Amino acid sequence: MSKRISLNFKNSYLNLPNEFYTKVHPTPVPNPKIIMFNQELAESMQLNISNYSDEDKASLFSGNQIPNNITPFSQAYAGHQFGHFTILGDGRAHILGEHLMPNGTLMDIQFKGSGKTPYSRRGDGRAALGPMLREYIISEAMHALGIPTTRSLAVVTTGENIIRETTLPGAILTRVASSHIRVGTFEFAATTQDITTIKQLLDYTINRHFPNLNSSNQKAIDFLNNTINRQIDLIINWMRVGFIHGVMNTDNMAISGETIDYGPCAFMDSYDPGTVFSSIDQMGRYAFANQPIIAQWNLTRLAETLLPLFDKNMDKAVDIAKESLQEFSKLYNTKWLEMMKSKLGLFNTDSNDESLIIDLLNWMTANHADNTNTFIDLSKNKTNQKQYQTSEFKNWHTRWQNRIKKNNKDLKDSINLMQSHNPIFIPRNHLIEKALDEATNNNLEPFNKLISVLKTPYKDNQKLKLYKISAPPSKYPYQTFCGT
């Protein structure tokens, strides 16, 4: 080791009651090697470790050497998993600390796969290389798409094998997040049945994410309403690009409004509102079209934890919660319509806009149209391809063209609007699988190339046609796994 690593972190989360965390160090690994380091992210955070050797970085991001004045910890939380409540916690994750960003905000730096914690239950606390690289790809792709997300700073192989269905190389991911406070964190606080504890968590979360609410005389209500709005904006973005989270348990809904926990997630190729990729979602609870419904369900669980802070009279508190939650559908539908209009280059308002959008989506479903490429073809006026030659589509296309004429704007404005809302490149599932297969066999070239392409998802490049194509037909449906 060439130097003792020292970073200027905080641990403000440790000011909460002890129930919310356990101070615990990562489990050392035998032979850490850094294989991915996000220099761009490190620079944006002004995390100045550019002069560290690869050995130093591997030691830091494996948890083998904890920086000076740092107290690692794992968080306790609860959650509704597929609708069933359980007490949980970081079973294989350690928060190193909170890095002070240039704008004054705090960012958690967390290790995933860093060893057992008191919340591991029967788990080994470790992670395999493939799932950690998968999170790196998709979280960085989401950032480039302009969608709030946790980000990936580094991936380190551990030099040890872990046992899942087979023997796999072990790895640790370093994740950066505005915080790791979840709906499930509030559910955990509510289990204490102590109003003081719930209020301490609320005050901490407001200071961290909604400091403008500190002057409010109804902080709990305003907090719920602000959280609802952030979650609506997040889900709208998921729907915009065809992203399916796959496991929208309440412990995977971050209060910050960031996408968190990239386990059995994936992007749709062919548009189908019933699409499910997760191997554990047997009933389609978290299907693409269900995501706004589940978000509202999760927010209802959050509201339940805050009832004692809404009003001392429980009946009044319930009425307050209902009033806020009933706004969800109205707000979501309004924002969804505006988002879809943007994808189609529509300005102003027309009474037929919603039917125009729904008719297109129905046609896409019936014809297994590519969710990403359909909107790109429309924006580029490339509808002379075979799949667009049906009378049904041609009739729809005529209606759309007539609607665009009502924009009272130049056609160029419509095209610019479409291009800013419709990515050309998404993390195609077959490309991810190929990159991960090669990476686990010590070939990072496809992985690095995919990362490079996904950095500019709205900029076309005719040399990258292979990155635009749907997965080849398969008799087996594509499945993703949680990677635990």
Q: What is the pLDDT of residues 86-121, one digit of tens each?
A: 999 999 999 999 998 888 889 999 999 999 999 998
**CA triplet 125, 234, 250: central angle to 5 degrees?**
40
Predicted pLDDT of residue 6:
55
Q: Is the pLDDT of residue 1 over 50?
A: no
Predicted pLDDT of residue 2:
45
Predicted TM-score (pTM) of the model is 0.96
Calpha distance 178→105 (Å, rounded) = 8
Q: Can you tell me the mean pLDDT for 239-248?
A: 97
322: closest CA among 184, 224, 223, 218?
224
31: closest CA among 134, 164, 161?
161
Q: Is the pLDDT of residue 476 over 80?
A: no
Burial of 364 (0-12, 13-18, 19+ CB in 10 A): buried
Q: How confident is the model at residue 483 (pLDDT cuts 50, 70, 90)?
A: low
| Helices within 145-218 (DSSP H only) | 183-191, 195-209
Q: How confident is the model at residue 47 (pLDDT cuts 50, 70, 90)?
A: confident
Contacts with 448 (C-beta within 8 Å, 6 or more apart), sequence order: none
251 catalytic, yes or no? yes
Single out the catalytic residue among 90, 108, 251, 261.
251
